[in-house]
Amino acid sequence: MDLIDLYLTELESVIHNLSRAEVNAVAEALMENWRARKQLFILGNGGSAATASHMMNDMNKFTIVEGKHRFRAIALTDNVPLMTAVGNDQEYADVFVEPLKNLLQPGDTIIAISASGNSPNVVKAVEYAKANGAKVIGFCGQPGGKLAQLADLKVIIPSDRIGQQEDGHMILDHVLSLALRECIKQEPGE
């Protein structure tokens, strides 16, 4: 059971060392997205895909404030038929860029979640989004990979353990949803 104590102790340190400035900058960017009534797209692979789905749920539901417009979030991970069709008929690297070609508008925001920051399908979607006028936010593991280099804003989870990186990404979902709901409460009525 020493491993349990080690993991949790390390995770406490990871969260303690998480850049509050990076998280605040992401919260501000997401508020700008909300104010402009733009679309928010969230994507990732594996555990990051689960986080993308969870974050879409929290952005759309947890941030609801009576009398205020709502976030417009889509998790690109949630259309399994389209993902498998694109992966089968084209290549897996296209599974996120193809729906962006249908839906993305200039001024929209992308949250790309990748522990390595080097997943080809994530990088390809980010490159497309940037080339088409979207703001890109990267949630990365340490050191951040290509995603950290491409993102307009990034939050790097300061851990070498993928599990702790994914834990950190889920914490970002929850703290951002909570902060955004409070910010929306302070916005003028509509």
DSSP string, 150-177: H-SEEEEE--S-HHHHHHHHHHHHHHHH
Q: What is the pLDDT of residue 189?
A: 76
Answer for the pair 72, 38: CB distance below 8 angstroms, yes or no. Answer: yes
User: In this structure, are residues 126 and 114 in contact, taking their beta carbons and an 8 Å threshold?
Assistant: no
74 half-sphere exposure, CB direction, 13 A CA radius? 13
Rounded CA separation 129/97 (Å): 8
> What residue segments make up the domains of the chain, in order of their start?
2-186
Q: Is 72 helix (H, G, I), strand (E, B) or coil?
A: strand
- Pairwise CA distance, residues 29 & 138, whole Å: 12
- Specify the pTM: 0.96
| DSSP strand pairing (153-157 vs 39-44) | unpaired
What is the CATH T-level fold of the domain 2-186, as seen in this structure?
A: Rossmann fold (3.40.50)
User: What is the arrangement of strands in the sheet containing 39-44, beginning at the earlier edge strand?
Assistant: 72-75, 39-44, 109-114, 135-141, 153-157
Query: Could you list the pLDDT tens digit for every one of the 190 residues in the chain?
Result: 799 999 999 999 999 999 999 999 999 999 999 999 999 999 999 999 999 999 999 999 999 999 999 999 999 999 999 999 999 999 999 999 999 999 999 999 999 999 999 999 999 999 999 999 999 999 999 999 999 999 999 999 999 999 999 999 999 999 999 999 999 999 987 6
- For residue 168, what pLDDT is reported? 98
